[in-house]
Structure 1
Amino acid sequence: MTRRTPSVKARWLTALPFAHRGLHDGNRSVPENSLAAAHAAIEAGYGIECDLQFCADGVPIVFHDDVLERLTGRSGSVRDLTSQEATALTLCGTDEPVPLFAELLALVAGRVPLLVELKACPERDATGFVEAVVAALQNYDGPLALMSFDYGLVDACRGRAPSSVPVGLTAEGSQPDELSAHDDALAKGFDFVSYDHAAMPNAFLDEVAARGLHILCWTIRSEAEASRARQTADQITFEGFRPSI
């Protein structure tokens, strides 16, 4: 695959491996997407990948799943809760609460790069979700990128995020229809892609590389996987081991 000269805006994206949902321990004592997992990543010198969901009161929280049960033991949808109700819940049987996005930003404070994935939400809420995320970034001074699987959220981020914030597509798949849909998103423009390592390389990523855009990948779980992934990707998102920096 042809390598390329990184864009100035997104060059920091390749500097460090990203700890997937923070440097957690498989949700035993340091849960994913917790402030404890973020702190552990900072202490170890890794970047942080995290997920955002949109609460009923329009406030973004750091949480991966659409439903609450796996991470909190409670039934129901995360989007039916207000942010106050969500942050009163604890993660995976620990004392760690569900964090607000604003709390994560305050903790990280620009010390390591942040790779922030916006989880898909109802189309009627997409603009409000992005606007709430962008509002939280107004006073944030540090390397941070936004991304999503949702093409509509990627477009909304491109239209509303500050020009200094790279916007990327999170993606997977190797079938022709999947790659064609990604090509359509590429035609609209983004700064990088974060791809499922199991589907690399592919023709879509060849085109991403040809355009001089960064390729990240997820989720790497061993040094052997990391070595293979780096034949295509510029940087990895990892969990379950500690890659060299």
Structure 2
Amino acid sequence: MPSAAWLTERPIAHRGLHDLNRMRWENTLSAFEAAASAGFAIECDVHLGSDGSVLVFHDGSLKRLTGQDGDIDHLSAETARETKIGGTDDHIPTLPEMLGLVAGRVPVVIELKGIEGRDDGLVRAVADALSAYAGEAAIMSFDHHLIRRFAGDAPGIAAGLTAEGVKDADMEAHFSMLAYNIDFVSYNVHHLENRFVDTVRKKLGLPVISWTVRSAEDKRKSDAVVDQITFEGFDPRG
């Protein structure tokens, strides 16, 4: 299994070091540059574009971030470059653009956003983008159908489960993903601590990071039970 120990070394900027979408918006090259310059690791989200490209964008819908109607998976790399975020000069970047900007300066954690039935090839496309990348990088997802493809389509890349919930059904679903040899877990900070996280850290010895930490209070809670934070909206350095 690939080591994901480097995930614990520095705080991870959620969707880059944005300013809560005032001037510097989430998942933009500006936010990624700000994070890398500050020495923070970077978390980003990706979808599969209409031409098989990997687009860095969180929502399935374009509306919140671009003001346009339509869905992200209907865009090609070319149309993404023409689509501005939040009325700024930043466009929707491709994953290769983002990786080229970061250039190994800080670790990158890529969350794959699935749209089941419309995302065939996403895992392999992300792996292809990472194949020539020299920096530290990991992939993760909420979507179990994508996680089941990680080992076959993205071998050798540190891979994780993004998760939340405290109910027995949540725990059972999460434990089932351990059969797919995940290397780390990213868990909702407001659902800590729990028996799944305890098992992953204490019995399996795998790193656990939290999301999304938005205050010093959240950070204190996270630091007490897991290994690193994914943060936004404040400076975790104090």
TM-score (norm 1): 0.93
> Take 1:228 and 1:64, find their aligned partners in 2: how far apart are those partners?
26
Match of 2:139 in 1: 146
Match of 2:4 in 1: 10
> Take 2:153 and 2:104, find their aligned partners in 1: how far apart are those partners?
21
Match of 1:189 in 2: 181
Match of 2:149 in 1: 156
Equivalent residue pairs, number: 237
Match of 1:103 in 2: 97
Whether 2:43 is the aligned partner of 1:61: answer no
Q: 192, 195, 211: which one pairs with 1:200? A: 192
How far the C-alpha of 1:8 sits from its partner, in A, is 7.5
* 1:106-140 Cα distance to aligned partner (Å, 9 max, x none): 001110000100001224633x1111111111210
Instruction: Answer yes or no: is the 8 Å Cα contact 2:147–2:180 preserved in 1.
Output: no
* 1:33-65 Cα distance to aligned partner (Å, 9 max, x none): 000000000111100000001111110010000
Letter in 1 for 2:92: V
Partner SS state of residue 179, structure 1: helix
1:108-127 to structure 2, matched below 5 A, reads 108-123=102-117, 125-126=119-120
Match of 2:127 in 1: 134
> Take 1:30 and 1:145, find their aligned partners in 2: how far apart are those partners?
24
> Take 1:55 and 1:216, find their aligned partners in 2: how far apart are those partners?
28
> Take 2:150 and 2:180, find their aligned partners in 1: how far apart are those partners?
12
> Take 1:183 and 1:159, find their aligned partners in 2: how far apart are those partners?
20
Partner SS state of residue 216, structure 1: strand
Letter in 2 for 1:29: M
> Take 1:28 and 1:105, find their aligned partners in 2: how far apart are those partners?
24
CA 1:8–1:119 in structure 2 vs 1: closer, same or farther (change >3 Å)?
Answer: closer
How far the C-alpha of 1:186 sits from its partner, in A, is 1.3
How far the C-alpha of 1:102 sits from its partner, in A, is 0.5
Match of 1:170 in 2: 162
Runs of 5+ consecutive residues of structure 2 not aligned to the other structure:
none
* 1:200-242 Cα distance to aligned partner (Å, 9 max, x none): 1111111111111110000001111101111111000000001
> Take 2:20 and 2:193, find their aligned partners in 1: how far apart are those partners?
28
Match of 1:211 in 2: 204
> Take 1:73 and 1:172, find their aligned partners in 2: how far apart are those partners?
29
> Take 1:125 and 1:64, find their aligned partners in 2: how far apart are those partners?
14
> Take 2:118 and 2:57, find their aligned partners in 1: how far apart are those partners?
20
CA 1:49–1:112 in structure 2 vs 1: closer, same or farther (change >3 Å)?
Answer: same
How far the C-alpha of 1:81 sits from its partner, in A, is 1.8
Letter in 1 for 2:167: Q
Q: 25, 28, 31: which one pairs with 2:22? A: 28
Residues 77-86 or 110-119, more deviating: 77-86
TM-score (norm 2): 0.96
> Take 2:43 and 2:37, find their aligned partners in 1: how far apart are those partners?
15
Match of 1:3 in 2: none
Letter in 2 for 1:183: F
